[in-house]
């Protein structure tokens, strides 16, 4: 199957692209390399995916990337074909309708996994309009073309942020999503609602995946993600600042990247005409535990200081029973092992991480 993956240079999108290629699908990757975090990080992700396509011309120096690729391939426990699929990459913007139209016309994808987005909550408070422009208008462009080109399945990468602050119980897919408490969360709610309308009006098959983060694992998105900062700070012997609603006891339903990839692929492969699934772990772990897992992986202490209790921080945990039952979704990773993998890949290229000044 030919699958258009938007946000293919990002953390999750690059993992999804490789998994699809490994299992024999042909991927058309799209990303605009926005400046939310450094371009070289995203280019590295794209080059890693190019390596998974054995037919692709390799246009980069392999010395640094090959050991990372080998580890990621080793870690991936999903389906793999002897004859992998292909990867074709386009740099372009989902808000540019004419560009997108040309891409659909040329490539004729059969399915879309839509992960391109302005991600991250705090940045959305400072820059609300870019969030609605990309996450709502960009999504509408993709849905319009998916309808016009008779796409077989549209998977929308949504977020636990649609639930707002719901620490009272594990959230289920039936819960109210009209009370987002961030512009990011609100933009994802809007994306979901437009997906629903396209399904009802045009019969476009859509599955919405409410991703519970922070997603962690090797090459985690570098900015705004605690695990990656903790890895860098431990390596560099620096004291880390902790934000969060309950300081070190703040707990998040943090999912390992390959478990999340499995959930997204199960959404893609499902036969539902429209449905919504939570994919998380349902077992939130405290920041204290995240720190301990990084310390264990390095065999070295990390000094942490709670600088500010962030009362606007949102806490929610997923009820994943629907995905378990209907998608066969089954997250497996133990946090200590997942963080060890993140640290092991970091150790292959600590100098490269120094090029990211904010981490
Ligand atoms: N990482 C998490 O913990 C998490 C949790 C919940 C939901 N999500 C969702 O999953 C998706 C992927 O997240 P990620 O962590 O990989 O983030 P990411 O920032 O690494 O990836 C998103 C990619 O989208 C691209 N992009 C942004 N605007 C674009 C545009 N206008 N046109 C084309 N490309 C554009 C970016 O350049 C980036 O490479 C996002 O939709 C995000 O909201 C992520």
The verdict on residue 288 lying in a domain is no
Quote the mean pLDDT of the chain: 95
The verdict on residue 35 lying in a domain is yes
- 166: domain CATH number is 3.40.50.720
Q: How far apart are CA 96 and CA 90, in angstroms?
A: 13
The verdict on residue 309 lying in a domain is no
Give the pLDDT mean for 338-351: 96
Residue among 217, 316, 228 at smallest CA distance from 261: 217
Q: Are the C-beta atoms of 220 and 14 separated by less than 8 Å?
A: no
The verdict on whether omega for the bond into residue 231 sits within 30 degrees of 0, i.e. cis, is no
Ligand 1 centre distance from Cα of residue 97 (Å):
19
Ligand 1 centre distance from Cα of residue 11 (Å):
7
Within 8 A by CB and 6+ apart from 110, the residues are 1, 2, 3, 151, 152
The verdict on residue 299 lying in a domain is no
The verdict on residue 343 lying in a domain is no
The verdict on residue 199 lying in a domain is yes
pTM given for the model:
0.97
Ligand 1 centre distance from Cα of residue 119 (Å):
5
Q: How confident is the model at residue 357 (pLDDT cuts 50, 70, 90)?
A: low
- For residue 149, CA distances in Å to 105, 110, 306 come to 8, 8, 51
Residue scoring higher pLDDT (310 or 80): 80
pLDDT digits (tens, 9 = 90+) for 13-44: 999 999 999 999 999 999 999 999 999 999 99
> Which domain, by its residues, includes 261?
2-211+255-280+317-332
Q: Are the C-beta atoms of 157 and 264 separated by less than 8 Å?
A: yes
| Of 190-194, 244-248, 343-347, minimum mean pLDDT range | 244-248
Task: Estimate to the nearest angstrom the gap between the alpha carbon of 322 and the chain centroid.
Answer: 20
Q: Is 231 near ligand 1, meaning CB less than 6 Å away?
A: no
Q: Are the C-beta atoms of 36 and 223 separated by less than 8 Å?
A: yes
**Known catalytic residue: 184?**
yes
The verdict on residue 186 lying in a domain is yes
The whole-number pLDDT of residue 312 equals 67
φ and ψ at 9, to 5 degrees?
-90, -5
Percent of the chain with pLDDT over 90: 86
The whole-number pLDDT of residue 268 equals 98
Give the pLDDT mean for 170-188: 95
Q: Are the C-beta atoms of 170 and 278 separated by less than 8 Å?
A: no
Q: How far apart are CA 172 and CA 34, in angstroms?
A: 33
Q: Is 215 near ligand 1, meaning CB less than 6 Å away?
A: yes
Residue 358: is its pLDDT beyond 90?
Answer: no
Q: How far apart are CA 347 and CA 23, in angstroms?
A: 28
Residue among 171, 321, 297 at smallest CA distance from 231: 297
The verdict on residue 230 lying in a domain is no
Q: How many domains does the chain have?
A: 1
Q: Is 119 near ligand 1, meaning CB less than 6 Å away?
A: yes
List the catalytic residue out of 184, 235, 256, 329: 184
């Amino acid at each position: 199957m030919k699958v258009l993956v938007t946000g293919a240079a990002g953390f999750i999108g690059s993992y999804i692209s490789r998994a699809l290629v490994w299992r024999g699908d042909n991927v058309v990757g799209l990303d605009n390399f926005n400046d939310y975090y450094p371009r070289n990080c995203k280019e590295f992700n794209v080059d890693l995916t190019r390596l998974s396509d054995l037919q692709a011309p390799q246009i980069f120096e392999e010395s640094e990337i090959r050991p990372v690729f080998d580890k990621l391939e080793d870690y991936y426990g999903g389906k793999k074909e002897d004859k992998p699929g292909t990867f074709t990459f386009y740099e372009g913007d989902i808000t540019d309708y004419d560009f997108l139209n040309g891409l659909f016309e040329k490539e004729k994808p059969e399915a879309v996994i839509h992960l391109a987005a302005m991600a991250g909550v705090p940045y959305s408070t400072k820059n609300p309009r870019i969030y609605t422009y990309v996450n709502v208008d960009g999504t509408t462009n993709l849905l319009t073309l998916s309808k016009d080109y008779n796409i077989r399945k549209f998977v929308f990468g949504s977020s636990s942020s649609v639930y707002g602050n719901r620490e009272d119980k594990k959230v289920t897919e039936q819960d109210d999503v009209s009370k987002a408490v961030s512009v990011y969360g609100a933009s994802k709610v809007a994306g979901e609602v437009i997906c629903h309308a396209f399904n009802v009006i045009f019969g476009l098959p859509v599955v919405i995946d409410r991703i519970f983060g922070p997603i962690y694992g090797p090459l985690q998105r570098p900015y705004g993600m605690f695990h990656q900062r903790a890895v860098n700070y431990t390596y560099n012997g620096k004291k880390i600042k902790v934000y969060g609603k309950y300081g070190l006891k703040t707990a998040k339903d943090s999912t390992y990247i390959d478990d999340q990839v499995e959930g997204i692929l199960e959404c893609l492969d499902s036969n539902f005409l429209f449905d919504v699934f939570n994919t998380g772990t349902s077992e939130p772990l405290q920041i204290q535990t995240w720190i301990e897992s990084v310390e264990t992986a390095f065999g070295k202490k990390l000094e942490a200081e709670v600088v500010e209790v962030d009362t606007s921080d949102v806490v929610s945990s997923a009820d994943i029973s629907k995905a378990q039952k209907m998608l066969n979704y089954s997250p497996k990773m133990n946090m200590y092992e997942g963080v060890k993998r993140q640290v092991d890949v970091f150790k292959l290229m600590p100098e490269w991480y120094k090029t990211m000044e904010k981490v």
